[in-house]
Amino acid sequence: MMTSSREDLIKEATLMMKLTQHPHAHLLPLLSIEYDASSRASMVAPIAKFGSMYDLADHLDFDGMHISESHVSVAVLQVLSGLVHLNSMNVNHGDVCGRNVLVFEFNIDHAQLMHVRLGDYGEAHAGQCDLYSVVGLAKELHALVPR
């Protein structure tokens, strides 16, 4: 079980609220903040019906199918677009990786119909993202493509 400090949650929620004011198609937005009876806060965001890129690859593998290089390319370009937007807001995501790339739309036959969003802003901080982190993401996601 992961736990976050109150300060970490406030920092992440504040960033997500800032993103809500300046939305981008490939960044996960904050829908609301809810409180339960024990005064614990929960951040509510859209549900990625295919989970992360890793979840999608596992699901496809279970069904005897595989993610293609075209799908990986589309995902990487969409994440890059989101990172450029974050940079314009002087935000460094801080944790660009496959588990934080959430898949909202996927079509095995048409990679261009894929839609991903970058989520998990827990490591985000002021500054510019080194866009070379996209190279690391591309290598990580490329490893999901069978040889």
Our count of domains for the chain comes to: 1
Total-model pTM: 0.88
Q: Domain of 42: which CATH number?
A: 1.10.510.10
Residue 147 lies in a domain: no
Residues whose CB falls within 8 Å of the CB of residue 40, separated by 6 or more in sequence, listed in order: none
Residue 87 lies in a domain: yes
E strand map for the chain: 32-35, 41-44, 91-92, 101-105, 115-118, 125-126
pLDDT, one tens digit per residue, over 15-28 is: 777 878 889 999 99
Query: Is-contact 32 46, C-beta < 8 A?
Result: no
Query: Is-contact 26 46, C-beta < 8 A?
Result: no
pLDDT, one tens digit per residue, over 42-72 is: 777 889 999 999 999 999 999 999 999 999 9
Residue 111 lies in a domain: yes
Range of the domain at 62: 6-142
